[in-house]
Amino acid sequence: MPFTRRSMLKATLVALPAHCAAHDLGQGVPPVQGTAPVDAARAFLANQVRLLPGSPFYVRQELHRKGVLASYDPDKLLYPYRALAKLPQKEGIESGYDGWDSEFLRGHMTGHYLSAASRMAAATGSILFRDRVNYLVGELATCQRILNLDGYLAAFSPAAFDQLEGKPGADAGGIGVPYYTIQKIMSGLLDAHAYVGNKQALDVATRMADYFGKRLAALNAAQIDRILRTDGSRNPQNEFGAMSDALTELFKISKDPRHLDAARMFNRAWFVGPLAEGEDRLGGVHANTHIAQAVGLANSANVDGNLVELKASENFWRLVVHRHSFANGGNSFNEWFDKPGVEAGPSIDEQKVLPPTTAESCNTHNMLKLTARLFERNPRVELADYYERALYNHVLASVAPDSGAVTYFTPLHGQFRTYLNGSFCCTGSGIENTARYNEGIYFHKDDTLWVNLYIPSELSWRETGMVLRQQGDITRGDPVRLTVVKSGARAVTLNVRIPAWVAKPVTARINDKPQDVAAKPSGYLSLRRQWKAGDVIDLTLPAGLRLEQARDVSSMVSIFHGPVLLAGELGKDNMPASDVGNKDAFLKIAPAPVPDIVSTSSNPADWLAPLPGDPSAFKIKNAGPANGIVVRPLFDLHHQRYSAYWRLHKDTFRDRS
């Protein structure tokens, strides 16, 4: 069905195979006989797509390339690894990075940095990041060799796993969720192999996988269930990240069935079974813990077509997007999923309404990964529509456009953002996000190309020989222009997305000749021909103003202009001198009051006036208490209070759901 946040979820119920019908103690998800690998679309690696100037994505990527990501010192990242291996530190390096990277997530930033730097090297052609990746991999390989623990590599002792497994007297040394950090390291190494071509990284990751595969194989089913069951508390002490995803990625390279078997040990039947049946048991659990599990679930399902995993990962996406998400595509209150449907009413976070703890950034980082996995399986426009919403209105909005600093939560009602000064989980995913901007724009299969996002960029489609350039910033009302810079040797089909948000009929021209646009919103315009260098496709995607109601409070609305969530400027009253700090530093500061919008019309075009000189901003007029407030894209509004939700006066608004 077309993507709409207000669509009612109609989850398909499936009969589980007998071996999965009961969610027995210790069960992972076994393979389902008679299935086959999914062979659908594939995302392009970052080295085949370059962002071009002319969008906020390019600006933020450059901020990280030149500043934030470049500022990390590889030897500080290596400090805890060298300390464990009893190797000498580099001159002048006396500690690692403060915060979580030196505490319960010791060493996780090294994994994130490997992923970010590998992708940035590919996305921008940066030699600096290529060299840093190769240096880090070589030093980590040395640490692994010196430790001499059958392939073990981490910034902390194996005693952390002894304690997790319940061995008497084991002391984790303050390390929490050790498998979470292992996943970051393995994923970083695999990215170094994929994006920089570092073969040593694959060897280090393979040895790690073999170590942990043997370790898990030595445990019985009850032990495995105990250490991998993550729905017992809101903040599980055994969060294991996307271990299934990392091990599946390794299997796709190695073809060693042991790696896929190990991946499936992390796909737990207690989690997968109910999802495959369409059940929503997400309320009260830690959101990112289980989104990361769903990413791995979708990846392993794509490898061999496991029917239970296929259905479970699809249903998880639908449940989160349609029952547990905010207007900006993010989710969770204080890191937790609430009951289905809760959005703008009393929440799981102490019954607060839209508290400052909404929309953890890591969650949406992983939801984009999940969405891409599902698109690879079954290319459909609702996935691309959601990807765009979450990318523009959460992931992009989590990066300050002046400094490149990133956020943990994205408040949505009268608060302000806090820009992180430590090594939090969202710091790690945050430095990855900017290097990933290149990767959701285009997908391909055989001689078919999907153009999913409208971000100025240039694609080198090596399999066909085509080079395609895209121009135009849709957030500022620009038309889209696709230019064939280099033609291929055969005819190809371009599937150009017609977004759900278009407000008027779409027009398309090829070499200035009008084309028949049969596709409707939330569809694809298919154009097939033997393209020639110099061919130009011009596409107009008329954006309009619209309201979206909160699921649980019909008088609470958000305002969109095309794909972009608008937020209102509410000033800096009662803000700290600096909005940089710990993720929780300013949560107790009261929000600013958000004035009601009072109007006889529920069409925002009747009470929003364009702001002269800025096609993406508007001023509220003739709307009661909210008069005079300027609204602009949430991703452009920083270092002040704002609101993305408004109460439209109940006397003049009728529920039309």
Same domain assignment for residues 551 and 515: no
**556 and 615 both lie in a single domain:** yes
Higher per-residue confidence, 516 vs 511: 511
Q: Tell me what the mean pLDDT of segment 350-371 comes to.
A: 98
Q: Is residue 68 within 8 Å of 405, Cβ to Cβ?
A: yes
Q: Do 419 and 579 form a contact (C-beta atoms < 8 A)?
A: yes
Q: Provide the pLDDT for residue 22.
A: 33
Q: Is 626 a domain residue?
A: yes
Question: Other CB atoms closer than 10 Å to residue 463's CB: what's the count?
Answer: 14
pLDDT at 35: 57
Is 405 part of any domain? no
Q: Domain check: are 612 and 529 in the same one?
A: no
Domain residues for the domain of 621 are 545-652
User: 548, 557 in Cβ contact below 8 A?
Assistant: yes
Residue 297 inside a domain? The answer is: no
Count CA within 13 A, CB hemisphere, residue 86: 4
Q: Are residues 565 and 592 in the same domain?
A: yes
pLDDT band at residue 488, thresholds of 50, 70 and 90?
confident
Which residues are paired to 525 by β-bridges? 496
Residues 612 and 525 in one domain: no
Picking from 509, 540, 571, the residue at the C-terminal end of a domain is 540
Confidence label for 29 from pLDDT (cuts 50, 70 and 90):
low
Task: Decide the pairing of beta strands 492-498 and 523-529.
Answer: antiparallel
In a domain, 450, yes or no: yes
Q: How far apart are CA 396 and CA 635, in angstroms?
A: 6
d(CA 336, CA 297): 20
How far is Cα 457 from Cα 482, in angstroms, rounded to an integer? 10
Say whether both 558 and 482 belong to one domain.
no
Say whether both 566 and 510 belong to one domain: no
| Predicted pLDDT at 18 | 32
Domain end among 524, 540, 556: 540
Residue 468 confidence (pLDDT) above 90: yes
Considering the domain architecture, whether residues 612 and 526 belong to the same structural domain is answered as no
Query: Which of residues 540, 567, 585 is at a domain's end?
Result: 540
Give 192-246 pLDDT, tens digit per residue.
999 999 999 999 999 999 999 999 999 999 999 999 999 999 999 999 999 999 9
Among the listed residues 71, 111, 122, the one whose alpha carbon sits nearest the alpha carbon of residue 435: 122
pLDDT given at position 4: 54
Residue 416 lies in a domain: no
Same domain for 553 and 621: yes
Does 634 lie in the same domain as 563?
Answer: yes
Q: Are residues 558 and 592 both part of a single domain?
A: yes
Position 286 in a domain: no
One domain for residues 552 and 621: yes
- pLDDT digit string, tens, across residues 597-654: 999 999 999 999 999 999 999 999 999 999 999 999 999 999 999 999 999 985 544 4
Identify the band that residue 113 occupies on the pLDDT scale cut at 50, 70 and 90.
very high
CB 30 within 8 A of CB 263: no
Task: Give the separation between CA 75 and CA 79, rounded to whole angstroms.
Answer: 6
- The CATH code of the domain that includes 528 is 2.60.40
User: Is residue 608 domain-resident?
Assistant: yes
| pLDDT per position as a tens digit, 149-192 | 999 999 999 999 999 999 999 999 999 999 999 999 999 999 99
Answer yes or no: is 571 within a domain: yes
Tally of domains in the chain? 2
Between the CA of residue 230 and those of 237, 284, 383, 640, what are the distances in Å?
Answer: 8, 11, 27, 37
Q: Which residues have a Cβ under 8 Å from the Cβ of 12 and sit 6 or more positions away?
A: 278, 311, 315
- In three-state secondary structure terms, 558 is strand
H or E segment to which residue 2 belongs? none
Residue 70 confidence (pLDDT): 98
